[in-house]
Amino acid sequence: MQKPVYILYILAFLIALSPDGRAQTITALEARLKAEQAAMDSLNLNPLPPREASAQPDENTSLNIADEINSLNDEIDRTEQQLRLAQSQLKNREQNIAQRTREIYKIGRQGILSVLFSAKSLRDAAQRLLYLSRLKDQDQRDVQVLRAARKRVNILFTILSSQKRRQQILLQRKRQHEQILKR
């Protein structure tokens, strides 16, 4: 892999992680995804040189590939862990939204007007209207958070898939280098 692309990848990865190892934002995850795609592009743009009888295989190349594979395995483990956490958070958020939707349905059957008209005073009705407005705002925020959680899961899944593809390419290159060294 080219050094500048590899350094860019490491920087983007470090920026995307918080001190506790979890990605902070969708923007940071998107930057991490772009860095992963750049790493994949770098692998695809720098294929193995054709096998020539006169070419001497480089043992350092095999060691570099092995180090890169080990590093990538650690990244894959972290990404899988982040994906599992994001999926469990998404599941919890979906359950909370579903429960809230059921509650809204039950209230809707009674009618918002009946909630307002059952107030004992004008002040009580205004207070109930304020509470209903706050509930609506919170529901909107919850839906936005749910969308962000889904997007995060999708991005993490894409990053993980790309890392696994890169791992396969590197393993294939390592095997090819080892075959060349055996000759």
pLDDT tens across 146-172, in order? 999 999 999 999 999 999 999 999 898
Question: What contacts 115, CB < 8 A, 6 or more positions away?
Answer: 107, 128, 132
Mean pLDDT of the chain: 79
Tokens of 121: 């005073």
What is the pTM for the complete model shown? Answer: 0.70
pLDDT tens across 79-121, in order? 999 999 999 999 999 999 999 888 888 777 677 777 778 889 8
Tokens of 162: 């790309």
Q: Average the pLDDT over 31-42 and give the result.
A: 86
Which is nearest to 97 in space by CA: 148, 50, 59, 62?
148
Domain boundaries, the chain: 3-182
